[in-house]
Amino acid sequence: MLDLAELVQSAIAPDLDATMAMARSDDIRKLALAAGVDVVGIAPVDRWEEFVPPGSRPYDILPGAKTVVVVGVRGPSAGAWQSPDHRLIEMNGYDFANDRVIHLVADHIEREYGYQAIQAPGLPVGGHQPAFSMMLAAVLAGLGTRSFAANIILNPKYGLLYYSACITTLELPVDAMLEQDVCPAPMCVQVYKAGGRTPCQAACPSDEGGCLHGTIGADNRIESTYYDRERCVSRAMNFGINSFQKGLEQIANEDDSERRRMMIHSDFFTRSASAIAFYKESVAQCFECMRVCPIGRAERKLK
Amino acid sequence: MSPADLDQMQTYRRELDDVARKSGALVTGVADAEAFTAAMEGQRPTELLPGCKTVFVLGGAQPRAGDWKSPSYRHMETTSTSDRLTAMGNRIAQHIERRCGYYAVTVPPGVDRARRPFLNIALAAELAGCGSPSLAGPVLHPEHGFMYYTAVLTTLPLAADGPLKQPACPAPECVSMWNEAGTTPCMATCPIDEGGCLGGKLEDGRIKERRYDVARCTTRVHTSFIPGFQKALEAVFDEPAKEKRKMILYSSQFTRTLWSMSYSNVSQGQCFECMRVCPVGSKQRDLR
């Protein structure tokens, strides 16, 4: 025979659990937004099963993982986009605010709720592929969709954002993925129909030495995309690890001591070393496809 | 500007000061963007941000009183860094754009071509009244002395503070020393005519002439970090003996150099001696 109290408890427990989960979700969102991120999304781990092979899913990184909290921040300030000195946008492109905030989120989940939480690994640990794609995480958490411009995930309100993710065993209410593609924007569809290229493709056309190409279908959605990653790297990463490696190779291959000295102390090598030391100093040096992108432009229009 | 607009700008200024203080800044100041007449071409605020009206300067993140007390000089090498100020600058830029609706951009801390800064931040600090140039080089705040600065360019038309009326350097103690000994504490600790970096003259209690050997100073201040790395790399490639090359690469000097680069705030500057003897701000270092 069932105890009346147990009966009442079993009837209201699911509601209580849902209420508590919702309150925790709100709490996490508020914490992240107050800490400086622009968007927060939550995805269930099973969404990864369709897109990544076994071994690379959230629960392969954190056993028992239930959800992934993803945060996104704007990179360059609107003022940096206005500057005629392109180096200013390079140097202000990224300050790791998303990484800092995701640590706060993970700490909060572990300390306040007693569930495991880790920062998802964003950098490659073998080969050049990251262990966990922040781009995919952003899409699966409903924060954006892929674009023609180097497959960058565009948020409908802000456009280009930088993302970090927290994998946790805490079960939280999840966000729906975006139903409407962010890219191509209606304006880009018009430009494409008139000239055969979207603004980003026109800024960096792959058939003219650039990096981007793609087609829009009759349904006004992306039909095909082409992105020349190697070309893009050679332009977007003139200073940083890549240029440091390139410079070092040239230095090592130079037999003449005087010339070697010149190369070691050159502006180019100094700035490459500097970009490594102040990693945030210059992570990427080309924003041209994003400069012409209409998504998020309204957010960059100030006084 | 209407009285209502002026009120609004004063409110924004109070908010920015509040955000800066809460973020850890010790001082703030506003410079008129048009006042940078002494800046090199291409390094003026309006050339970096079209329509720039003012430059908001933040100062702080200087070595703590305890850092100065440490008998291990290597301690301060590894704790003193301007990185924190840049993060504060970004926060201010974000506030200006998102709360006030005006363009803002933080001046990057690094150097551009020919190792020149994007904008002379020391000049910005001076024009914003955060301090004045010193015989030793750094811009000194009258109360706090040496500190790091960052600058945010903005189209926000705040009222400018302007430069200090009374320079922080030379301090009265230094004028007395000059009158008696013909030198100041900073010049005495690193005299340019005896292999050091600093020289100069005082006249009527003010700086009359200043000499600073930047090349010498660099070899002392940056014994590790990027210049140290480049020097060691040159030695590695010039060394024909494989075993000696290995020794150089695994030496503590080269290891420290790599640490200072990868954890860039580990060791950016390795000499604080001219600032150690500077009386400006020394009261702030006098704690229990």
pLDDT in tens, A167-218: 999 999 999 999 999 999 999 999 999 999 999 999 999 999 999 999 999 9
Contact A82 B49 (CB under 8 A): yes
B89 to chain A, closest Cα gap in Å: 11
Contact A95 B90 (CB under 8 A): yes
Give Cβ neighbours of residue A54 (< 8 Å, ≥ 6 apart): A60
Q: Which amino acid is at B57?
A: V
Contact B187, B200 (CB under 8 A): yes
Specify the pLDDT at position A8.
60
Instruction: Name the average pLDDT for chain A.
Output: 89
Q: Quick one: pLDDT band at residue B175, thresholds 50, 70, 90?
A: very high
pLDDT (tens digit, 9 = 90+) per residue, A150-171? 999 999 999 999 999 999 999 9
Specify the pLDDT at position A13.
61
Cβ-based interface (< 8 Å): residues of B facing A: 42, 47-51, 83, 86-87, 90-91, 93-94, 97, 101-106, 108-115, 118, 153-155, 225-226, 229-230, 233-234, 237-238, 260-262, 264
A16 in contact with B, Cβ within 8 Å = no
Among A226-240, B66-80, B98-112, B130-144, the range scoring the smallest mean pLDDT is B66-80
pLDDT (tens digit, 9 = 90+) per residue, A107-141? 999 999 999 999 998 777 667 677 899 999 999 99
Q: Quick one: pLDDT band at residue B265, thresholds 50, 70, 90?
A: low
Specify the pLDDT at position A183.
97
Give Cβ neighbours of residue B184 (< 8 Å, ≥ 6 apart): B135, B170, B174, B177, B178, B200, B202
- Quick one: average pLDDT of B76-101? 85
Q: Which amino acid is at B4?
A: A
Task: Kindly tell me if the per-residue pLDDT of A10 is higher than 70.
Answer: no
A299 in contact with B, Cβ within 8 Å = no
Token pair, residue B23, equals 């973020």
Contact A161, A73 (CB under 8 A): yes
Q: Quick one: pLDDT band at residue A17, thresholds 50, 70, 90?
A: confident
Specify the pLDDT at position A166.
97
- Quick one: average pLDDT of A84-91? 80
For residue B269, list chain A residues with Cβ-Cβ distance below 8 A: none
